[in-house]
Structure 1
Amino acid sequence: MYLTYFYDSALAQASYMVACQATGEAAVIDPSRNIEEYVKVAREQGFQIRAAVETHIHADFVSGVTELARRTGATIYYSLEGADNGGYDWDDSLSVHGLRDQDIIHLGNVQLKAIHTPGHTPEHMSYELTDGAAGDKPMGVFTGDFIFVGDVGRPDLLEKSVGVKGSAEQGARQLFASLQKFKQYSDYIQIWPGHGSGSACGKSLGSVPASTVGYEKLFNPAFQPTNEADFIDFILDGQPEPPAYFTKMKEVNRTGMTPLSKVSTAVEWYLTGNEVAKLAKEITNLVIDTRSIEVYSRGSIPGTINLPYPDLFAEWLGRLANYEKGIFIIAEPHQYADLRKILINMGMDNLQGFFPLSVVKTATKLQSYDHQSPKNVDKKRKSAQVQVLDVRYQEEWEESHIPNAKHIPLPQLPERLDELTYDKPIAVHCRSGKRSAIASSILLNHGFEVINVEGGFINWENENLEITNK
């Protein structure tokens, strides 16, 4: 048997290839849209990809099952369990095969048994792997978004991202039941999850790529509650706000995204900084500057938004997602391919082009903002010289915040700018200073005078400055 692991660090997404070396038949579990790496490995190993296997309808990346099926002739295997079978609606040109609980995919001596594990989504399937050439017992389970290392899949996405009322609590009940069944596996059984640390599909995912049932029983917090009510309280508490693009992913992954062969390849544009500024001011465009926070703040082309790469790029592109606007990116030329890959995996096919970093120097007018210490900002706050803006999430705000600050979570900022005034500089902060840097670029583009609070709320607290929870 052959088993290998693929990982997209930008989206914290894992996929797997398993194959029977005797027959050369291979399957890819939860492939991403950029399928070249799977095709390359299969070619090198002499495999034919026969199966493209889905654990569920993904919310955080574009599934590659349709791309893989079109390119290799593989059959798509998907869940028939759950309400409305998850809502899949496959193109008639694709080879598809629906699975029920306990159904088996055969790949020579290797078998993948479908195990219905609802909770994260109603249709969710895990896949139990057995190498028939070695024995008749399973060696592990591909758990998708059901179980992660140190966490489990959140059950609230259908309600928060798609608007299915009441599905969060129902999903939590299903997830608890699925976990009780899963605990019956022997401790040696390996766990191969669909995501790692950094994914918004859970609240505390570990960065280790694999685990075992026994280890998770001992140390995974979600395995510890022994009654349903305690588990529901635990799993629904503190779940992060889902990125905006999750809604779009749920939509496109029901049917399959546009074939990559029909998506135009973005190229480098040769414009001046002034011409880029004109592009950025058009409401139909989004121009992203990927330079560091510090460099961007010292001088940027008006109208651009600062999403530093790689630090904040993928996460906040997803949280500020707009699938209607044409996207342009200012970056290092050697980064173009990786940036395009990220956008493709998020379904943002409206990438129009790239500009090299040198374009910034050709603009005749640049915008900038200051970074100031919490103590300095506090003095100005007390003398009413600034208005304080907190762009953290609601849960962070409710725990504690700066007195009389204005609260607008960063994802909501573009739509709520009319709640701010132009008569005073805006001192903007988040937890550590990263989100507030993105907010600073948005505020600059709308004519506000901006101060980014150095080190954010963490430094504010470390300086023992005034806070409240009222």
Structure 2
Amino acid sequence: MLFERIYDDDLAQASYLVGCQAKGEAVVVDGRRDIAVYQELAKRNGLKIVAVTETHIHADYLSGTRELAAATGATIYVSGEGGPDWQYGFGGERLYDGGKITMGNISIRAVHTPGHTPEHLSFLVTDGAFSDQPGYLLSGDFVFSGDLGRPDLLDEAAGGTDTRFVGATQLFASLRDKFLTLPDYVQVHPAHGAGSSCGKALGAVPSSTVGYERRFAWWGKYLASNDEQGFIDELLEGQPDAHSYFARMKRENREGPAILGRRAPLTELDRAEVAQDLAEGKATFVDTRPNGAVHKGTVARSLNVPAGKSVASYAAWVVNPETDKNPLVLLAPDQAAAQVMWDHLVRVGIDNVAGYVTGMEGLPTSTPKLIRPADLTGFDAAMVLDVRNRSEHTAGHIPGSHHLSGGRAMWHLDEVPGEGTIVTYCQSGARSSVAASALRRAGYDVVELAGSYAAWTAWRQTRESVSS
């Protein structure tokens, strides 16, 4: 058996390829939309992808299930559990509790594990050439290393009302009746790692075992004492902010993401034509440099989505393809870098990219406004806006600041004053730059706090030291 984990650091998301080398067949579980990685992996190992499936209707990225099936001819398998409100809107075989996908000696059995979502499946994998008992659990967003999938996303991102309590109860039952009935040796391979918003304390270790989680995970004591209410209380406390784009992901994944097919490589655009499109409001410029470079000058009304680890996340904060119909123009050093960024963007359904430019010469530029921490006191700001996560704001913030995380800001503009100057900050400046660029593009007067909260804290400590 071939068992491969494919990890996306951007979205802290894991997908899996399980293959039977004897039969030359493979299945992909929880694949993403830029599918070349799975095709290349299968080809390198002499395998044909014959099945694609997913553990649940995802909220944080667009599924590649339909994309892979269209490219390879693989059969689609999706959950048929969860009731009528949680049925997929596209074709494919429906899997129910106990249903199987078989490839040669390998058996993949669906286990209905509701809680994170009503239709959620986990997959028990048995390598029949080695044992007649399952040895691996693809746990999706059910059990993570050291944590559990949050049951409140349906309230936070899918328009639910108090579904978190039903979900938490279901999660307790799924642990008791499904997970903890498995042998301790079964390996647990989750769909997310540290940094994901699908839980509050995900470990960075890529896998675990049933026995290890039973003994050491925070929830083990509640299951051991059958303390359901204590479990629910701790599970729901302190969950991170859910990004607003999650609602779009849920909807598109349920209906079926658009199939991209073979994408032509991005091309370098003529800057004079780009300047004309920007002047006419027919394009959106994306400055992919770090915030420090952007603060020295950028294209007027551009969005700052820095290249690197969090491209997909940051882009989804500030680009809503359902309402933002302009094609994106990426600032990139070369075609390869632009292509990598586009691969990340399609993971969250931002498909409309016109091309790239390698510089800003000939384009209209402006310099974002900054304010030093020492000048913030007494500054006539309509709002000081903290765009960090809720837990960061709770742990410490600038007095009088309003909290609205970067991933929610553009969907909650009713909380932002329409007149006056808004001062934005995060921890070190990167997230503030992303959010501030989107607010400026929307017409708000925005000043960024130089160095953000870290610099303000250092200034305050210095002032207090001098005063004492």
Bin the TM-score by the shorter chain: 0.7 to 0.9
Superposed, which structure 2 residues align to 1:194-205 within 5 Å? Answer: 194-205=191-202
Query: Could you say what the CA RMSD is over the residues aligned between the two structures, in angstroms?
Result: 2.7
Separation (CA, whole Å) in 2 of partners of 1:9 and 1:311: 6
What amino acid is aligned across from residue 214 of structure 1 in structure 2?
G
What amino acid is aligned across from residue 305 of structure 1 in structure 2?
L
TM-score normalized with structure 2 length: 0.88
* Alignment partner of 1:390 is 2:377: no
Residues 458 and 396 of structure 1, relative CA distance in 2, 3 Å threshold:
farther
- Asked whether the 8 Å contact 2:30–2:63 carries over to 1, the reply is yes
Write out per-residue CA displacement over residues 388-429 of structure 1, whole angstroms, 9 at most, x where no aligned residue: 61223455445543333354443454535861544xx65432
Separation (CA, whole Å) in 1 of partners of 2:279 and 2:454: 32
Separation (CA, whole Å) in 2 of partners of 1:162 and 1:443: 24
Separation (CA, whole Å) in 2 of partners of 1:390 and 1:240: 18
Write out per-residue CA displacement over residues 225-280 of structure 1, whole angstroms, 9 at most, x where no aligned residue: 331111111121222222222222212222322222276654321214xx656645
- Asked whether the 8 Å contact 1:280–1:304 carries over to 2, the reply is no
- Asked whether the 8 Å contact 2:116–2:142 carries over to 1, the reply is yes
Correspondence for 2:190: 193
Residues 170 and 42 of structure 1, relative CA distance in 2, 3 Å threshold:
same
What amino acid is aligned across from residue 101 of structure 1 in structure 2?
D
- Asked whether the 8 Å contact 2:271–2:363 carries over to 1, the reply is no
* Matching residue within 297, 312, 315 for 2:313: 315
Residues 408 and 420 of structure 1, relative CA distance in 2, 3 Å threshold:
farther
What amino acid is aligned across from residue 200 of structure 1 in structure 2?
S
Correspondence for 2:355: 353
Superposed, which structure 2 residues align to 1:157-172 within 5 Å? Answer: 157-172=153-168
What amino acid is aligned across from residue 238 of structure 1 in structure 2?
G
Separation (CA, whole Å) in 1 of partners of 2:304 and 2:87: 37
* Matching residue within 121, 126, 137 for 1:125: 121
**Runs of 5+ unmatched residues, structure 2:** none
What amino acid is aligned across from residue 291 of structure 2 in structure 1?
I
* Alignment partner of 1:141 is 2:142: no
Write out per-residue CA displacement over residues 154-205 of structure 1, whole angstroms, 9 at most, x where no aligned residue: 1111221111222211111111111123122222110111111222211222
Separation (CA, whole Å) in 2 of partners of 1:217 and 1:122: 23
Separation (CA, whole Å) in 1 of partners of 2:69 and 2:107: 20
Residues 413 and 165 of structure 1, relative CA distance in 2, 3 Å threshold:
closer
What amino acid is aligned across from residue 188 of structure 1 in structure 2?
Y
How many residue pairs match? The answer is: 451
* Alignment partner of 1:100 is 2:96: yes
Deviation at 1:7, TM superposition (A): 1.4
Correspondence for 1:150: 146
- Asked whether the 8 Å contact 1:112–1:129 carries over to 2, the reply is yes
Deviation at 1:371, TM superposition (A): 5.7
Correspondence for 1:234: 234
Identical residues among aligned pairs (%): 37
Residues 440 and 70 of structure 1, relative CA distance in 2, 3 Å threshold:
closer
- Asked whether the 8 Å contact 2:384–2:400 carries over to 1, the reply is no
Separation (CA, whole Å) in 1 of partners of 2:83 and 2:457: 48
**Runs of 5+ unmatched residues, structure 1:** none
- Asked whether the 8 Å contact 1:54–1:76 carries over to 2, the reply is no
Write out per-residue CA displacement over residues 37-88 of structure 1, whole angstroms, 9 at most, x where no aligned residue: 2222222222222211221111122212212222222111121111227221
What amino acid is aligned across from residue 142 of structure 2 in structure 1?
F
Residues 85 and 420 of structure 1, relative CA distance in 2, 3 Å threshold:
closer
Correspondence for 2:333: 332
Residues 224 and 276 of structure 1, relative CA distance in 2, 3 Å threshold:
farther
Correspondence for 2:219: 222
Correspondence for 1:460: 457
* Alignment partner of 1:51 is 2:47: no
Correspondence for 2:417: 419
Write out per-residue CA displacement over residues 427-447 of structure 1, whole angstroms, 9 at most, x where no aligned residue: 432233322222343455547
What amino acid is aligned across from residue 221 of structure 1 in structure 2?
W
Separation (CA, whole Å) in 1 of partners of 2:256 and 2:234: 34
Residues 281 and 86 of structure 1, relative CA distance in 2, 3 Å threshold:
farther
- Asked whether the 8 Å contact 2:5–2:16 carries over to 1, the reply is yes
Q: Secondary structure at the match of 2:222?
A: coil
Residues 32 and 119 of structure 1, relative CA distance in 2, 3 Å threshold:
same
Q: Secondary structure at the match of 2:31?
A: coil
